[in-house]
């Protein structure tokens, strides 16, 4: 579904991604783990059109999307849940969700997907008229995910969905990630909580200073001494 081949991405003179290549197959959950500053968010921003690679190619469903405008990438079926949620704080929960469907014209489909988002996240239904800026961190994460789902993506990019959340809420968010995937959405997950990420993923990549240093099935990486020592607390 997604093929990233040998991309270099820069911020000014600083190289953030160095010859990075990876693949995501339809129906998978693929996770990208790595320390802060490894380039994980930069990769997702590049895939969603917010950064442009200086070199290399990005193909989605066989078409080149490197350097395309962000809105055309959303239209093609890729939604991005950014790090830090980025909800529209002064708008209500429901207004945020409506914005997720801004490129869609199918009113019946939008209404159906809105009802489904409220099924996945009952807390959002309870707070649908509430200003988004007054929600807890966990509720804002649910809203950011719900908003992305409203675009009806084929591929969902999730950037640090568990960041700053209480353990019970983290468990809840990961259960919903698995549900979304089982319903047919392919997921590329960036996550510092390597233990949780590897527990839901099919395959995983380890990113260090802009390069992929390890790749394999989630099980292989869970059992790797190197990954255990660096990311799983030596478990």
Cα(216)–Cα(222) distance, integer angstroms: 10
Quote the pTM value. 0.91
Beta-strand pair 203-208/211-217: antiparallel
State what percent of residues in the chain have pLDDT above 70: 98
Task: Check residue 32 and give its pLDDT.
Answer: 95
Which residue intervals of the chain bear CATH 3.40.50.300? 1-77+153-235
DSSP conformation letters of 166-226: -HHHHHHHHHHHHHHHHTT-EEEEE-S-HHHHHHH-SEEEEEETTEEEEEEEHHHHHH-HH
User: 97, 117 in Cβ contact below 8 A?
Assistant: yes
pLDDT-based confidence at 230, cuts 50/70/90? confident
- What is the pLDDT of the chain when averaged over all its residues? 92
Which of 101, 59, 80 has the alpha carbon at shortest distance from 160?
80
Task: Check residue 235 and give its pLDDT.
Answer: 47
The CATH label, of 3.30.390.50, 3.40.50.920, 3.40.50.300, 3.90.1170.50, for the domain at 1-77+153-235 is 3.40.50.300
**What pLDDT, in 10s, does the model give residues 30-70?**
999 988 888 999 999 999 999 999 999 999 999 999 989 99
Cite the DSSP H helix spans in 19-166. Answer: 40-47, 70-76, 93-100, 107-120, 122-126, 137-149
């Amino acid at each position: 579904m997604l093929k990233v081949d040998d991309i270099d991405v820069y911020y000014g003179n600083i190289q953030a991604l160095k010859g990075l290549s990876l693949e995501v197959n339809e129906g998978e959950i693929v996770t990208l783990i790595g320390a802060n500053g490894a380039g994980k968010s930069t990769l997702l921003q590049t895939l969603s059109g917010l950064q442009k690679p200086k070199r290399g190619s990005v193909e989605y469903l066989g078409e080149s999307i490197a350097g395309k405008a962000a809105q055309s990438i959303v239209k093609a079926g890729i939604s991005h849940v950014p790090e830090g949620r980025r909800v529209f704080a002064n708008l209500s929960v429901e207004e945020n969700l409506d914005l997720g469907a801004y490129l869609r014209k199918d009113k019946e489909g939008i209404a159906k997907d809105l009802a489904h988002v409220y099924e996945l996240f009952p807390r959002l239904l309870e707070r649908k008229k509430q200003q988004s800026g007054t929600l807890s961190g966990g509720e804002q994460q649910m809203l950011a995910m719900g908003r992305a789902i409203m675009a009806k993506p084929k591929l969902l990019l999730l950037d640090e969905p568990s960041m700053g959340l209480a353990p019970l809420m983290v468990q809840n968010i990961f259960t919903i990630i698995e549900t979304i995937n089982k319903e047919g959405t392919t997921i590329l997950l960036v996550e510092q909580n390597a233990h949780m990420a590897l527990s839901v993923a099919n395959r995983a990549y380890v990113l260090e200073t802009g390069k992929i240093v390890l790749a394999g099935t989630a099980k292989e990486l869970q059992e790797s001494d190197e990954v255990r020592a660096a990311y799983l607390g030596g478990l």
